[in-house]
Amino acid sequence: MNKEEYRLQLKEWLSSIQPAIQDDNIRQKVDHLWFSMDDEHSSEQEWYELAERIAEDMNPQEDMREVAAGSHKLPPLPYRYDALEPFISKEIMYLHHQKHHQSYVDGLNQAELALKNARRTNDFKMIKHWERELAFNGAGHYLHCIFWFSMSPSGKRKPTGQMLRLIEQSFDSYDAFKSQFSAAAKQVEGVGWAILVWAPRSQRLEILQAERHQFLSQWDVIPLLALDVWEHAYYLQYLNEKAKYVDRWWNVVDWREPEARLKQAQQVRWTPF
Ligand SMILES: [Fe+2]
């Protein structure tokens, strides 16, 4: 789609939602988008971001929806399968999205339902298997959601503003960041990912490699409560009785920290899939 077609499509969409707008705040954003579309220096990416914010404001409930256990869905791609050619072929995009990502969605739903059933029947014999499936497929699903939406045929090819400032602060320069990210990606052991992350505790960006998708994590999640079961955490006192240590650990848990973390973590909201 070229810029003119996109402009036309957005104008049609704006006209269709305009009668339903009650809120002055949203009306202001709509005016901003109209204005931006008539400004020759503004880009499609800017229009898209403005439109996205309007859509979010118009459907707050939609955004608040949780994804119930077993009901993850494959997100539709925000562009056509051939849109990233010649860099990524249509065939790859189709298989990758329709077959591979779909299989992670299915596997995640299956694991979540199996764990729900295990809780209901208090039968955790298969806990290791299902936790592994939960992590593998969950990480696969969440990372692909980030991946698809971080590409586009006519997007913003270089960061600006806060993102650029933080990249320069964390990696010295954008070029140095790119070199490290590419090297990390090329040297992932076997299969996996290179991932740019925000570390809330050190207030810095970091680059990490993920082998496979996960190594029993899900990446898109924020830890709230953690129990250390390395031997160094209990062996001196409990020797090989790890189970006893775990059971007794509940006597010293302090939920104030997980509760405080939850409050902050809930500020983060991504579109549910
Ligand atoms: Fe993939």
What's 130's domain CATH number? 1.10.287.990
Which of the listed residues 17, 33, 64 is the one where a domain comes to its end?
A: 64
Assess whether 51 and 103 both reside in one domain. Answer: no
Beta bridge mates, 199? 204
Determine the average pLDDT of the residues in 36-46: 84
Q: How far is the CA of 212 from the centre of ligand 1 (A)?
A: 10
Q: How far is the CA of 221 from the centre of ligand 1 (A)?
A: 19
pLDDT band at 216 (very low <50, low <70, confident <90, very high): low
> With 70 as the cut, is the pLDDT of residue 12 above it?
yes
Q: How far is the CA of 251 from the centre of ligand 1 (A)?
A: 42
Q: How far is the CA of 108 from the centre of ligand 1 (A)?
A: 15
Assess whether 227 and 197 both reside in one domain. Answer: no
- Looking at residue 105, its amino acid is V
Assess whether 48 and 81 both reside in one domain. Answer: no
Q: How far is the CA of 99 from the centre of ligand 1 (A)?
A: 10
Assess whether 150 and 172 both reside in one domain. Answer: no
pLDDT band at 221 (very low <50, low <70, confident <90, very high): confident
> With 90 as the cut, is the pLDDT of residue 21 above it?
no
Which of the listed residues 64, 79, 106 is the one where a domain comes to its end?
A: 64
Alpha helices by DSSP H, the chain: 3-17, 24-37, 44-58, 60-64, 90-94, 102-121, 127-149, 161-171, 174-186, 235-238, 242-249, 256-265
Determine the average pLDDT of the residues in 254-273: 80
Q: How far is the CA of 149 from the centre of ligand 1 (A)?
A: 13
Place of tokens 């020759």: 40
Assess whether 77 and 30 both reside in one domain. Answer: no
Assess whether 256 and 266 both reside in one domain. Answer: yes
Q: How far is the CA of 204 from the centre of ligand 1 (A)?
A: 27
Q: What's the mean pLDDT when you consider all of the chain?
A: 85
pLDDT at 60: 58
Q: How far is the CA of 124 from the centre of ligand 1 (A)?
A: 30
What are 108-154's pLDDT values in tens digits?
999 999 999 999 999 999 999 999 999 999 988 988 888 898 888 88
Assess whether 24 and 46 both reside in one domain. Answer: yes
- Provide the residue range defining the domain that includes 21: 3-64
pLDDT greater at residue 173 or residue 29: 173
Q: Looking at the 3D structure of the chain, how many domains does it have? A: 4
Report the distance separating Cα 223 and Cα 217, nearest Å.
10
> With 80 as the cut, is the pLDDT of residue 99 above it?
yes
Assess whether 38 and 8 both reside in one domain. Answer: yes
Assess whether 169 and 120 both reside in one domain. Answer: no
Which of the listed residues 44, 64, 84 is the one where a domain comes to its end?
A: 64
Report the distance separating Cα 142 and Cα 210, nearest Å.
13
Assess whether 130 and 203 both reside in one domain. Answer: no
Q: What one-character DSSP code corresponds to residue 229?
A: -
pLDDT at 1: 66
CA distances from 113 to 65, 116, 131, 213 (A): 19, 5, 12, 21
0.75 cut: is pTM over it?
no
pLDDT band at 82 (very low <50, low <70, confident <90, very high): very high
Spacing of C-alpha 245 from chain mean position? 34
184-193, 202-211, 220-229: segment of lowest average pLDDT? 220-229
Assess whether 242 and 264 both reside in one domain. Answer: yes
Q: How far is the CA of 213 from the centre of ligand 1 (A)?
A: 9
Q: How far is the CA of 198 from the centre of ligand 1 (A)?
A: 22
pLDDT band at 40 (very low <50, low <70, confident <90, very high): confident
| CATH code of residue 230 | 3.55.40.20
Q: How far is the CA of 117 from the centre of ligand 1 (A)?
A: 29
pLDDT greater at residue 261 or residue 156: 156
